[in-house]
């Protein structure tokens, strides 16, 4: 995304009026946080819960690995046990996370995923190839019986269009996508498993697709069509059961170009082209292949920052791009949920050099060592700026607020000295929008004082793009 050093000028108090949110904006969008490394580690869990509470988080995504909890997971021979009985599984890694979230009154999104026990594959030597739907269905019954209503929303499989989560992705000659059909059977089995656990009416998401296709990754819209037995024009290719779901989950990551990046392949879906997914779901719904008018939940998202030399942007850009992306999601009335992936960056790979040192994600709000990035405060008080004709439109959120509140919009010409631009009043969910004049060389931020008297300041923001 092209940088432009343009920012807001101070407005007189007579113009300090709140602009109502756009009519097409989501009225129900919620934010979910995903911090697996911090939450799974008992040594960092309480700190992570405290950090997220301070940021205003009220919903947690947990990816539960079948392999992690199953008995004799490394054996090719299935042990003799009742797969639907939760007492045969080891839930010790995940129970403290789910219970800790519920104790704080948070919602829990549970994604049940691979790797799988070797005995649950069709003779594979790995833990990803063709998991047996019958075994998975029984496992979902066990998960449902164990967690029950402590889980608010369920989702089946993490990024099933990626080879590191499900195999095979393509046929032997690489022409025909195979993972969509494998996933369809897993989803339907998982749905039956939840029903057997007495959870037939719980919210259940389908998809959890990654954003872009390659020669090894099935592109998300191609995956969607294959899962639903549709051709490129969204007509039925063969008889498949109509799939019922509560929403479609997607991971709308973008590139270092920022939220405005538009992938050339029409089957890819990054944050800047979400309408592609909406149109695809609507076409599939009209064909009777899936529940109609499905909402979209962006269940995993983040902006890669330095020190990743290949994908990372500057720390300031990371904060701005993250806020702009959340604003894009908010403006789309079909987006019901938006997520932040990682509290802390993944650590560098020991012994690796060059690009290989950063094979994980640098999408955290903190560095791997725990130092706060600008995006930490930017997540608590996100502020995004977009051009609106000859003016700037400002969209912001006081995330920790539990009702209408007031915040101070500040501006700076040098990034050091800050002055009050206006006092803004949010709606009941903490959002506000406002328009202002353009003036070169300025930045702005939000300042908010909590009911307890603590004053927080968001990151310095500038107009980008």
Residue 90 has pLDDT above 60, yes or no: yes
Instruction: Output the 3-class SS for the chain.
Output: CCECCEEECCCCHHHCCCECCCCCCCCCCEEEEECHHHHHCHHHHHHHHHHHHHHCCCEEEEEEEHHHHCCCCCCCCCCCCCCCCHHHCCCCCCHHHHHHHHHCCCEEEEEEECCCCHHHECCCCCCCECECHHHHHHHHHHHHHHHHHHCCEEEECCCCCCCCCCECCECCCCCCECHHHHHHHHHHHHHHHHHHCCCCCCCEEEEEECCCCCCCCCCHHHHHHHHCCECCCCCECCCCCCECCCEEEECCCCECCECCCCCCCCCCCCHHHHHHHHHHHHHHHHCCCECCCCEEEECCCCCCECCCCCCCECHHHHHHHHHHHHHHHHHCCCEEEEEEECCECCCCCCCCCHHHHHCCCCCCCECCCCCECHHHHHHHCCEEEEEECCEEEEEEECCCCCCCCEEEEEEECCCCCCEEEEEEECCCCCEEEEEEEEEECCEEEEEEECCCCCEEECCCECCEC
Q: What is the pLDDT of residue 16?
A: 32
**Is pLDDT at 84 greater than 50 in this prediction?**
yes
pLDDT in tens, 270-292: 999 999 999 999 999 999 999 99
Model confidence pLDDT, tens digit, residues 182-240 = 999 999 999 999 999 999 999 999 999 999 999 999 999 999 999 999 999 999 998 89
| Confidence class for position 465, pLDDT limits 50, 70, 90 | low
Q: What is the pLDDT of residue 364?
A: 98
pLDDT digits (tens, 9 = 90+) for 141-175: 999 999 999 999 999 999 999 999 999 999 998 78
Q: What percent of the chain has pLDDT above 90?
A: 84
- In tens, the pLDDT along 99-123 reads 999 999 999 999 999 999 999 998 8
Rounded mean pLDDT, 24-39:
86
> Per mean pLDDT, which range of 111-115, 233-237, 330-334, 411-415 is the poorest?
411-415
Looking at residue 25, what is its pLDDT?
67
Mean pLDDT to the nearest integer, 9-21: 31
Domains and CATH numbers, the chain: 25-379 (3.20.20.80)
- pLDDT tens per residue across span 335-383: 999 999 999 999 999 988 888 899 899 999 999 999 999 999 999 999 9
Judge whether residue 12 has pLDDT over 60: no
Q: Is the pLDDT assigned to residue 8 strictly greater than 80?
A: no
């Amino acid at each position: 995304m092209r940088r432009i050093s343009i920012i807001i000028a101070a407005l007189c108090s007579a113009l300090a009026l709140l602009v109502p949110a756009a009519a097409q904006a989501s009225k129900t969008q919620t934010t979910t946080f995903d911090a697996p490394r911090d939450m799974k580690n008992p040594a960092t869990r309480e700190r992570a819960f405290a950090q997220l509470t301070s940021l205003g988080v009220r919903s947690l995504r947990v990816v539960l690995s079948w392999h992690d909890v199953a008995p004799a997971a490394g054996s090719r021979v299935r042990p003799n046990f009742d797969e639907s009985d939760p007492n045969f599984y080891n839930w010790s890694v995940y129970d403290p996370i789910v219970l800790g979230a519920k104790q704080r009154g948070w919602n829990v999104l549970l994604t049940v995923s691979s790797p799988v026990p070797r005995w649950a594959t069709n003779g594979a030597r790995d833990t990803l190839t063709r998991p047996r739907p019958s075994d998975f269905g029984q496992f979902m019954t066990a998960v449902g019986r164990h967690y029950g209503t402590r889980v608010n929303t369920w989702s089946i499989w993490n990024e099933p269009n990626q080879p590191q989560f499900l195999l095979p992705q393509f046929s032997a000659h690489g022409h025909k996508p195979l993972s969509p059909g494998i996933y369809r059977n897993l989803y339907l089995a998982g749905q039956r498993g939840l029903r057997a656990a007495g959870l037939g009416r719980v919210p259940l998401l389908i998809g959890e697709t990654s954003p872009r296709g390659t020669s090894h990754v099935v592109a998300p819209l191609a995956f969607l069509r294959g899962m639903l037995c549709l051709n490129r024009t969204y007509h039925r290719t063969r008889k498949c059961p109509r799939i019922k779901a509560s929403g479609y989950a997607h991971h709308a990551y973008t590139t270092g170009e920022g939220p405005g990046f538009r992938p050339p392949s029409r089957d890819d879906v990054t944050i800047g082209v979400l309408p592609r997914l909406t149109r695809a779901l609507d076409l599939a719904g009209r064909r009777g292949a899936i529940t109609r008018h499905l909402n979209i939940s962006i269940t995993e998202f983040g902006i890669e920052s330095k020190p990743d030399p290949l994908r990372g942007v500057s720390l300031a850009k990371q904060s701005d791009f993250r806020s702009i992306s959340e604003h894009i999601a908010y403006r789309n009335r079909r987006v019901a949920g938006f997520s932040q992936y990682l509290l802390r960056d993944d650590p560098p790979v020991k012994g690796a050099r060059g690009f290989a040192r950063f094979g994980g994600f640098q999408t955290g709000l903190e560095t791997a060592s725990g130092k706060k990035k600008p995006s930490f405060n930017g997540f608590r008080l996100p502020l995004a700026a977009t051009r609106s004709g000859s003016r700037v439109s400002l969209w912001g959120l006081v995330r920790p607020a539990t009702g209408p509140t007031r915040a101070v919009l500040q501006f700076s010409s040098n990034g050091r000295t800050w002055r009050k631009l206006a006092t803004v009043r949010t709606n009941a969910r903490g959002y506000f929008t406002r328009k202002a004049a353009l003036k070169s060389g300025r930045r702005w931020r939000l300042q908010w004082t909590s009911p307890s008297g603590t004053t927080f300041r968001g990151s310095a923001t500038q107009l980008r793009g």
